[in-house]
């Protein structure tokens, strides 16, 4: 065998985490007998149908993922929990690969998903579903808490912020996971104008026993959403971002600490709570109204 050809296979294996496919070997001039000979001599080690480890038998986690993708043929990509593990946003529960709807494939130990629309990118040299698609797939198979944890990780790793993710979902064709992901995000990215906030919040406050709340007052040098002088209660609402930045959180702490130091009671709700969980907001306000200031 031409040394240059052999060298090209070694270089390919290095790029693919130690694995190559039978199709790739044939493309580079290795005939069936040459492949069989190298398997017998221990230079190629079968790890999946039509996939070999080059040289050593040991296979890394990334090599296992790459081998699974190669085994499932052209256009196959790592997906679902396996994609989430590659992106480092959620743990892997089983080995999962997605392929085009037009193809059929079965591989022992691999859960295969067929897709009419399959988007792909590469990460660490492995074909994989993009972060947004991966989060949609997770939402279809995981509960809300685990999905939200994955959203948090994707945001922390600058893979996709929740606002951009929510916008992308509106452009996405219906498929499992889209609706569930929207519901999770809508509780976090929900925004509300000041006038709408007052329209929704003030009736809750009246029913809870806070009839005379003042709105948009300057208290201790800060503009606050709602203020009850009688109860010495300052109520603030947050709602423009899924996550408040460290600087925003620090400013919130200073505001709350300043109010507390002056003898007031600071209280925070998210605007999503006002919109989606008004019973909790009203119950909390009622408990505070019963306590003397």
pLDDT at site 277: 86
The answer, yes or no, to whether residue 79 has pLDDT greater than 80, is: yes
pTM of the model: 0.69
Give yes or no for a contact between 95 and 84, defined as CB atoms under 8 angstroms apart. Answer: no
pLDDT at site 167: 85
Mean pLDDT of 37-54: 88
Q: Which domains does the chain have, with CATH numbers?
A: 1-59 (1.10.10), 62-189 (no CATH), 194-290 (3.40.960.10)
| pLDDT band at residue 292 using 50, 70 and 90 as cut-offs | low
pLDDT at site 1: 61
Percent of the chain with pLDDT over 90: 45
- C-alpha 149/C-alpha 132 separation (Å) is 14
pLDDT at site 192: 63
pLDDT at site 293: 61
SS3 202: helix
Mean pLDDT of 136-151: 90
Q: Which residue do the tokens 């986690």 mark?
A: 61
The answer, yes or no, to whether residue 105 has pLDDT greater than 60, is: yes
pLDDT at site 131: 96
Q: Which residue has the higher pLDDT, 67 or 13?
A: 67
- C-alpha 51/C-alpha 76 separation (Å) is 14
pLDDT at site 240: 46
pLDDT at site 117: 87
Residue 257: Cβ within 10 Å count: 11
Mean pLDDT of 127-148: 93
Instruction: Read off the DSSP letter of residue 230.
Output: T
pLDDT digits (tens, 9 = 90+) for 197-252: 888 899 999 999 987 889 989 999 999 999 999 899 999 887 545 555 667 778 88
């Amino acid at each position: 065998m031409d040394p240059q050809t052999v060298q090209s296979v070694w270089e390919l294996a290095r790029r693919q985490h130690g694995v190559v496919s039978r199709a790739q070997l044939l493309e580079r001039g290795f005939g069936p007998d040459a492949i069989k000979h190298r398997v017998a001599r221990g230079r190629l080690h079968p790890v999946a149908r039509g996939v070999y480890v080059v040289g050593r038998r040991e296979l890394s986690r990334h090599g296992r993922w790459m081998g699974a993708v190669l085994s499932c043929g052209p256009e196959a990509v790592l997906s679902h929990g396996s994609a989430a593990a590659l992106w480092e946003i959620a743990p892997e529960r089983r080995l999962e690969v997605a392929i085009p709807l037009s193809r059929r494939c079965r591989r022992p130990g691999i859960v295969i998903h067929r897709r009419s629309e399959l988007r792909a990118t590469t990460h660490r040299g492995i074909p994989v579903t993009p972060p947004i698609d991966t989060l949609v797939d997770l939402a279809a198979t995981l509960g809300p808490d685990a999905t939200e944890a994955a959203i948090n990780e994707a945001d922390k790793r600058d893979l996709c912020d929740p606002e951009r993710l929510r916008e992308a979902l509106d452009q996405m064709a219906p498929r499992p996971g889209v609706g569930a992901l929207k519901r999770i995000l809508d509780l976090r990215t929900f925004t509300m104008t000041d006038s709408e906030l007052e329209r929704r919040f003030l009736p809750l406050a009246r029913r809870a026993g806070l009839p005379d709340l003042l709105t948009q007052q300057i208290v201790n040098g800060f503009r606050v959403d709602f203020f009850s002088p009688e109860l010495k209660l300052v109520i603030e609402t947050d709602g423009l971002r899924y996550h408040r930045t460290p600087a925003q959180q620090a400013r919130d702490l200073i505001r709350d600490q300043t109010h507390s130091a002056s003898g007031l009671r600071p209280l925070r709700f998210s605007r999503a709570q006002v919109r989606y969980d008004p019973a909790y907001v009203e119950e909390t306000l009622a408990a505070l109204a019963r306590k003397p200031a």
